[in-house]
Chains A and B, each alone.
Chain A
């Protein structure tokens, strides 16, 4: 089977989990001898050669051709109010500033040229890039022979739809995160939601990363249940990481590691920390990461008078992230709405027991973790206390958790995906 795949990013140049998931999936598909053409807005040249990569920035598009004009006109309306940065954390914000400076200089060139230089980031011109990416897709769909089209998340949905219009091949829309998860109430508004909905409805089949996400796709986007299947993410490496880092404080450490934003539920972690500290002062809580709610969390910690037991590290990267997992005695992910959430699996690799919210997709594959409702701070505090004090349960979670991890292989995910492809292919006239 030849798969024409559209994805916004690919390792090593990634800013979120999307690129990592694409990488794992393609590795799995390779294992099953599937051919993948992967179209990425910008190719850097240091990607692992797992697919027939197409650099959208290299593809010439003749803008005078009517077909393109139609696609373009359908898409440009989305640019209104397009200063919208869905995934942007502070770390990406920096990259984005770099990018605008760079981009300004080649605006003239792109107006007259048939090629468009994509940034491939999540910057201010994101909506324009998404639209131009779709134009490129029509050209690629014409050039490259393929059996099935596969698009990852809303950024690639217009491209998937455009490709399908050209080749008539079946379209798989893969959904890693929805606007509902990112924005909470009110997620059913705005251009991102519209693009998600258009993509999901136009697709011949939808692949969701969890049952939780499948439910959202059906209930909030009105997609027919028969059309949606679940494909959980996997891990590239399930081996246990033996860290040399030694904790320098005698107390047990309970960690929140992630963006400090509404979606991740940091405030519930803070409230639960207070409840635990009231009962047991020999614990330290760490909130690692940054985000728009950071200052509010700092204020709340001070208000609750636990500033000497609750610490903030700011944004962590590289080795610091591994060290943080390794030093932790409990990892908590209290997300309000998490389509999947790979971080707890990383914690398991560091032999750290985890507590995850029932509103997180990863709970469907990680059975050996404590699951609580994100809002139930009493249950969260109980769970933290239990994992800290009752050694048997945390030892059990460590052992069983790592066994579960070993089952999460991208080959298995890809095998399921191939059956989806095959069914779609057979339906073809």
Chain B
């Protein structure tokens, strides 16, 4: 078997509005509705709608031979429901073709797998229910964790929840001389299988496609097909994992990214011996080649492929710790707004905005952050979190009063 497995990540966080110390204790609504709506609408026009249309066209044209997988975060689905029902419908149409697989993830695109098994399970359950409700009873079989965060222990947890396998990064420091182009096994539970991102070919599309300083620019379909043909014969699967916003948002339409994708299926099917498969198909068909040892969590971010973009400095650690200290208290409060905010506050993006890693050459970072500096991000988040703690305490008192 030689196959290409496309997986696209669809995610937008609920960004926090400018929240001041003076608001604390009084204003309990944290979300920047205007900003969030305008981002969703902008990305819908530039990426989600045109790319979904293109994929639908390609799936219809190739009649079962071209297929892809998506993971759509729960917070993103919530925003589609509120601001972009047209986008949600177009995803529903794609899933209805039967050639599109959906994956499960944590509902809030959170990092709770690193901190709390119970919260992790709860969030996955929420996402599973949401997918089922919005996609006509659909039940995902494969899991992908926020930012492809994976470790042996996380894999074991996910296996317990009944998934056949999960996706992660083909990080060099984990693989060494080994290739990402095989199916691997979790080191604790060998029945649980792992797909690794081929970061070379994935990033050729996702990051380098329009990079004029790249020696291979411009990336033509002929070139890409030749690279795929160069994959050694014994290799089984090429996992092309990327943000869905690559198409039209990170790489603008003017770069030719849509035209590239329009011709890609035909070129691969006609000029290589590769087919297209979804993650569950790959995991079901291929024999795993070996166990993979990942004692320390990895992710798909940055050169280091570690967690330092989210939990790499004191600001992030402080915010993260203070948030998860609340878990057991929040669990006892049956209040829809508390539960909603608890969910949304866990989204990994909030911690990413506090990263000082790119502070010096801010360009990459600034692109994704609504804040001018990581310090602003921290102050705003902590103001909100402080108010959230006040609300939790008040609810606790109410509950005690009743009891």
Which among B22-30, B140-148, B212-220, B362-370 touches the partner chain? B22-30
**CB contact list, B308-345 vs A, under 8 A:** 313-315, 317-319, 321-322
CB nearest neighbor in A for B389 = A308
Most buried by A among B25, B319, B321, B385: B25
Q: Kindly state whether residue B207 has any CB partner on chain A within 8 Å.
A: no
With known contacts A299-B315, A302-B314, A302-B317, A311–B373 Cβ distance under 8 A: no
Determine if A80 is an interface residue (Cβ-Cβ < 8 Å).
no
> Which residues in A have their C-beta under 8 angstroms from that of B317?
302
Given known contacts A294-B375, A298-B378, A311 and B24 CB-to-CB distance under 8 angstroms: yes
Please tell me if B228 contacts chain A, counting CB pairs below 8 Å: no
Whether A12 is near chain B, meaning CB under 8 Å from some CB there, is: no
- A250 CA / B25 CA spacing, docked (Å): 8
The one of B21, B25, B318 that contacts A307, using a Cβ cutoff of 8 Å: B318
Which residue of B319, B321, B379, B390 has the most chain A CB atoms within 10 A of its CB atom? Answer: B379
Q: Contact check: which of A249, A294, A299 meets B24 at CB < 8 Å?
A: A249
Q: Do residues A313 and B22 form an inter-chain contact, with CB atoms below 8 A?
A: yes
Shortest Cβ gap from A102 to chain B (Å): 26
Residues on A with beta carbons closer than 8 Å to the beta carbon of B20 = 313
User: Which residues of chain A in 290-313 are interfacial with respect to chain B, using CB atoms and an 8 Å cutoff?
Assistant: 294-295, 298-299, 301-303, 305, 307-309, 311-313
Q: Within the assembled complex, what's the spacing in Å between the Cα atoms of A294 and B372? A: 14
B195 at the interface (CB under 8 A from A): no
Query: Once the chains bind, are B386 and A309 in contact (CB under 8 Å)?
Result: yes
- The residues of B that contact A247 with a CB separation of less than 8 Å are 25
Within 8 A of A (CB), among B232-259: none
Chain A residue numbers with a CB within 8 Å of B321 are 305
B383 proximity list for chain A (CB < 8 A): 311
Bound complex: CA of A286 vs CA of B24, how far in Å? 12
The answer to whether B379 touches A312 (Cβ under 8 A) is: yes
A249-B25 contact in complex given A294-B375, A299-B315, C-beta closer than 8 Å: yes
A323 at the interface (CB under 8 A from B): yes
- Per-position binary interface string of chain A over residues 249-260, scored 1 when its CB falls under 8 Å from any chain B CB and 0 otherwise: 110000000000
Shortest A61–chain B CB gap in Å is: 44
Total number of B residues with any Cβ neighbor in A under 8 Å: 24
Chain A residues within 8 Å of B318, by CB: 301-303, 305, 307
Count how many chain A residues have C-beta atoms less than 8 Å from C-beta atoms of the other chain. Answer: 23
Q: With a CB–CB cut-off of 8 A, which chain B residues contact A305?
A: 318, 321-322
The CA-CA distance from A299 to B312 in the complex, in Å, is: 13
User: Which residues on B sit within 8 Å (CB–CB) of A302?
Assistant: 313-315, 317-319, 378
Please provide the chain A residues from 75 to 122 with a CB less than 8 Å away from any CB of chain B in the complex: none
Residues of A within 8 A of B25 (CB): 247-250
- Residues of A close to B390: CB separation below 8 A: 249-250
Among candidates A295, A308, A320, A323, residue contacting B386 with C-beta atoms closer than 8 Å: A308
Q: Give every chain A residue within 8 A of B386 (Cβ-Cβ).
A: 284, 308-309, 311
List, in ascending order, chain A residues with CB within 8 A of B315's CB.
298-299, 302, 307
**CB–CB A307/B382 < 8 A:** yes
A314: chain B residues at CB < 8 Å are 379
- When C-beta atoms are compared, the residue in chain B nearest to A288 turns out to be B21
**A294, A301, A308, A312 — which one has the most chain B CB atoms within 10 A of its CB?**
A308
Report B-chain residues with C-beta under 8 Å of the C-beta of A301. 318
**0/1 string, B371-393, CB within 8 A of A gives 1:** 00101001100110110011000
Instruction: Report the nearest A residue to B25, measured CB to CB.
Output: A248
Option from B22, B375, B382 in Cβ contact (under 8 Å) with A295: B375
Contacts of A320 in B (CB 8 A): 22
A313 surroundings in chain B (CB, below 8 A): 20-22
Report chain B residues within 8 Å CB of A323: 22
Residue on B with the closest CB to A313?
Answer: B21
Once A299-B315, A308-B382, A311-B382 are accepted as A-B contacts, the answer to whether A286 and B375 lie under 8 Å apart by CB is: no
A329 smallest CB distance to B (angstroms):
15
- Cβ contacts under 8 Å, A311 to chain B: 21, 24, 379, 382-383, 386
A314 to B372, CA, bound (A): 13
B385 & A308 in contact (Cβ 8 Å cutoff): yes
Q: With the chains together, A298 CA to B319 CA distance in Å?
A: 12
Residue of B nearest to A249 (CB): B25
CB distance from B387 to the nearest CB of A (A): 9
Could you tell me the distance between the alpha carbons of A311 and B20 in the complex, rounded to whole angstroms?
9
List the A side residues contacting B22 at CB < 8 Å. Answer: 313, 320, 323
Instruction: Report whether B21 and A286 are in contact in the complex, using a CB–CB cutoff of 8 Å.
Output: yes
CB distance from A251 to the nearest CB of B (A): 9
B26 contacts across to A, CB distance below 8 A? 248
- Shortest B375–chain A CB gap in Å is 5
Which residues of A sit under 8 angstroms from B314, Cβ to Cβ?
299, 302-303
Closest to A294 in B: B375
State in angstroms the CA–CA spacing of A313 and B382 once bound together: 11
B24 touches A248 (CB 8 A): yes
CB pair B319–A307 under 8 Å, yes or no, is yes
Given contacts A303-B314, A308-B386, 5 further A-B contacts (CB under 8 A): A249-B390, A295-B373, A301-B318, A302-B318, A303-B318
- A-B residue pairs, 3 tightest by C-beta: A248-B25, A302-B318, A249-B25
27 A-B pairs with CB atoms under 8 Å apart are A248-B26, A249-B24, A249-B390, A250-B25, A284-B386, A286-B21, A295-B375, A299-B313, A299-B314, A302-B314, A302-B315, A302-B318, A303-B318, A305-B318, A307-B318, A307-B322, A308-B385, A308-B386, A308-B389, A311-B24, A311-B382, A311-B383, A311-B386, A312-B21, A312-B379, A313-B22, A314-B379
